[in-house]
Structure 1
Amino acid sequence: MSGTADLVKAIKKELKAARMTYADLARELGLAESSVKRMLARGDMPLSRIDAICRALRLDFAELAQRVADSQPLLNELTLEQEHAVVRDDRLLLVALCVLSQWTLEQITAHYRLSEADVIQRLAQLDRLGIIELKPLSRYRLKLAKAFRWRPHGPVMQYFRDHVVLDYFAGGFGGHGEGVLLVHGSIARALAPSFVERMQRIAQDFAQQHQADQKLEPGTREGYTLLLAMRNWEFAAFARLRR
């Protein structure tokens, strides 16, 4: 569970939501109001006291623990050490990409030649790395923000540049629902960030649609990879011809 400060913060939030004052809670616990204030200020509470507070709030302890976990800040990016750990094992990288798409254990084992034990082992590694919070029955909570991205010059993106980019672009992009666009032009420098924001919205729309369509029958869904990019760049062979 998270630290005591997070627990106290969650309790105070639940008190406010229930419109309970410290005096109200004190009566429920059979304590003086000053004792309740001191207890919450110090964060010094045995488990039996936390259970009593949960009963006063008409709240299950597991619900309170979940709310504490949900309140934790999400990661926008990993550290270099975390990314190195992810790319060190191809199977760990595969499972990491699956959890980014919120795949279940059952979906991963049905789609790839990985045993249940293999996947659970990698989920445990991702839990230790702080990427997910592993729960009973191999369920998990993703600890990455919606705006999460791999480090632009980090180990994971380098792995994709070395091993994936050519494989991706080797396709003809002529299949159903496929397409590739290459647009070059000069625009006001101040406008460039607005195009990147639009790209991010498209990526979020794609990710949200993926989540929404998980309830559909597997046979009605296809796996697509959306690649969006924009950079200040000129092909090296052309740059060599510049005056």
Structure 2
Amino acid sequence: MSQIDLMLSCVKKALKQRGISYAQVAVHLQLTEASVKRLFSQKQFTMQRLEQVCQLMQLELADLLQLMSEQQQQVQQLSYEQEEEITRDLTLLLVAVSVLNRWSMQDILDWYQLSEHECIRKLAQLDRLKLIELLPNNKIRLRVSANFSWREGGPIQRFFQQKIAQEFFQARFNSKAECLLVLNGMLSAAGNDEFQRKLRRLASEFNELNRQEASLPLAQRNGVSIVLAMRDWRFGLFKPLLKKS
């Protein structure tokens, strides 16, 4: 992420935390809301306007730089070796997935057959892997960025593909909490690229919603798994019917 991208990301995050809308920013800058959105999307902020937005949030520029520094220290992705270490220990993987869903240690103990001692050991291991920071009284602080993801084709992704894919699709997908869409069509390379961008944007929206609802009691949140996939499927099932070249 470039410095300007990181700075604007911090500004957006600070605005959201303070409940300040683009419309309010527009009034403060004496611009239209559309102009403010364009400033963010086209990254055209001058230092003067950036300082004005900071004033609206009651922040100094130095505070914004501190936020940038903290965000840069957040983990965007684990190394291959770190993911491999997690997949070798099913209990560690369980705890890792739980904390990424913003569960507390007590939540984990309430839901799973883990002793407090074992849970603390796994949390300490995740602290060493820099996925979390284990605070006094066993409080958990995530050290991952908003766009954290498992490595593409890495150990975690392969684990879920091998161990869970078959079980995942055994569901009937007929309850109100389930949905299965199977789409078939033909796209150009450009159309394929565009749709993949939309899939990534949808995944980003899911992650943001997950973050926003993290403060709700665990009893009000249900585990949700989503599979977004797209691939060249011109052959597959019909390959035996293809004409021989």
Please give the range of the TM-score, normalised by the shorter of the 2 chains. 0.5 to 0.7
The CA deviation at 1:146 is 2.3
The CA deviation at 1:158 is 1.5
Provide Cα deviations, 1:165-199, integer angstroms capped at 9, x if missing partner. 00010111111221101112111212323322222
- Give the secondary-structure state (helix, strand or coil) at the position aligned to 1:184: coil
Contact 1:132 1:142 in 2 (8 A): yes
RMSD: 2.5
Q: Which runs of 4+ in 1 moved over 6 A?
A: 66-69
Contact 1:77 1:149 in 2 (8 A): yes
Inter-partner Cα distance in structure 1 for 2:155 and 2:175: 31
Q: Which residue of 1 aligns with 2:155?
A: 155
- Give the secondary-structure state (helix, strand or coil) at the position aligned to 2:174: coil
The CA deviation at 1:110 is 1.4
Greater mean deviation of Cα atoms: 214-223 or 119-128: 214-223
Provide Cα deviations, 1:25-71, integer angstroms capped at 9, x if missing partner. xxxxxxxxxxxxxxxxxxxxxxxxxxxxxxxxxxxxxxxxx969724
Q: Which residue of 2 aligns with 1:171?
A: 171
Inter-partner Cα distance in structure 2 for 1:94 and 1:69: 30
Q: Which residue of 2 aligns with 1:118?
A: 118
Give TM-score scaled by structure 1 length.
0.65
Inter-partner Cα distance in structure 2 for 1:190 and 1:73: 35
The CA deviation at 1:223 is 2.2
Inter-partner Cα distance in structure 2 for 1:217 and 1:149: 25
Provide Cα deviations, 1:63-107, integer angstroms capped at 9, x if missing partner. xxx969724433332211111100000000011111211111111
The 5 A counterparts of 1:192-203 are: 192-203=192-203
Gap runs ≥5 in structure 1: 1-65
Contact 1:101 1:207 in 2 (8 A): no
Q: Answer yes or no: is 1:75 the counterpart of 2:75.
A: yes
Give TM-score scaled by structure 2 length.
0.64
Q: Which residue of 2 aligns with 1:22?
A: none
The CA deviation at 1:214 is 3.8
* Gap change, CA 1:241 and 1:77, over 3 Å in 2: farther
Identity of aligned residues (%): 35
> Counterpart of 1:201 in structure 2: which amino acid?
R
- Give the secondary-structure state (helix, strand or coil) at the position aligned to 1:85: helix
Q: How many residues align?
A: 179
Inter-partner Cα distance in structure 2 for 1:69 and 1:149: 20
The CA deviation at 1:241 is 2.7
Greater mean deviation of Cα atoms: 166-175 or 231-240: 231-240
* Gap change, CA 1:122 and 1:79, over 3 Å in 2: same
Q: Which residue of 2 aligns with 1:141?
A: 141
Name which one, 1 or 2, has greater alpha-carbon Rg: 1
